[in-house]
Amino acid sequence: MSDQHLKGGLTIRNIDDLSRLSNMLAKSGFFSDAKEAAQCGVKVLAGMELGFGAIASMVGVHIINGKPSIGANLMAAAVKRSDKYNYRITRHDNDGCTIVFYENGEAIGESTFTLDDAQAAGALEGKNGHTWKKFPRNMMFNRAMSNGVRWYCPDIFAGSVTYTPEELDLMVDEEGNTVDISAVDQQPPLTTVQTPHPQDLRVKLIRTLLDYPVDLVKEWLSFQDVDRPSQLEVSKVDELIKVMCLAWASNKIDHPLHAENSYKKHVIAVVAQGGDELEAVHKWIQHVEQTNHPVVKA
């Protein structure tokens, strides 16, 4: 197989590279819907074709009857990272969700999914009826996003038609993650696969890298009236990442403006060009530590 690059600089040059990566992912025990190396390998390959890195693929890509299925949050992330497309939510309540899609800054259409649409589709009485009734806002966002991506941004995934797991008749939780059905005839009843949300995992990895106090993250989230990053818009998660990074740099760079400019140059600019955020933050930390001396505070 030809060289394939995953985000973060990881390169799969041949089947041996893929095999080693798949074995590591399987042995980690973190992904309960892919416990065998072959399953992990297929998910990683499917995710690569859709433009996602290994961890995002393991968390958010599912193979259902031979078709790749991804969660609405990954679809939304793909739209946001695109140089061509963007979206804005104009309505989001218990009765419906409307998302306007943009191409090169111009509105090209909107996707709306309402409670009436869910009722007409039989979603409220189907496998996910309980989830629809308990988390209607989440589920309507998922449907509005997936419809909009297929209608207005089909080239984001190189022409591959993508569906959410719920659209392919799999049971999901409120985040759109698949539900473990291996024990369908056993007791206790079905349990949700415990896979971390990409935005929660993103914050956790960078917080750990910075050794930033978890209590301060919780305090920041509380001011946003949420419990975890995945309940925020991506732009607000970006803000949280910036807060953590600049707090880390506060006693290493002599002026807040210098710290912010350095962060923009070495992290934001790199990510905007397609670089991996975690790797960019790590390299930025090394750069700051090598070129700056700790500020002595009175």
Q: Rounded CA gap, 209 and 191, in Å?
A: 31
**What value does the mean pLDDT of the chain take?**
79
All residues at 6 or more sequence positions from 172 whose CB lies less than 8 Å from its CB, including other chains: 128, 131, 164, 165, 166, 178, 179
**φ, ψ at 228 (rounded to 5°):** -150, 155
Q: What is the model's pTM?
A: 0.50
pLDDT tens digits, residue range 234-290? Answer: 999 999 999 999 999 988 888 889 999 999 999 999 888 888 888 889 999 988 888
pLDDT of residue 8: 46
Q: Which residue type does 15 have?
A: I
Q: pLDDT class for 233, splitting at 50, 70, 90? A: very high
Would the pLDDT of 47 be above 60? Answer: yes
Q: How far is CA 43 from CA 19, 35, 38, 130, in A?
A: 12, 11, 9, 28
pLDDT tens digits, residue range 75-103? Answer: 888 888 888 999 999 999 989 999 999 99
**φ, ψ at 231 (rounded to 5°):** -90, 0
Q: Rounded CA gap, 242 and 248, in Å?
A: 10
Q: Rounded CA gap, 71 and 163, in Å?
A: 8
Q: Rounded CA gap, 216 and 208, in Å?
A: 13
Would the pLDDT of 295 be above 60? Answer: no
Pairing relationship of beta strands 106-114 and 96-103 according to DSSP bridges: antiparallel
Q: Is the peptide bond before 188 cis (omega within 30 degrees of 0)?
A: yes
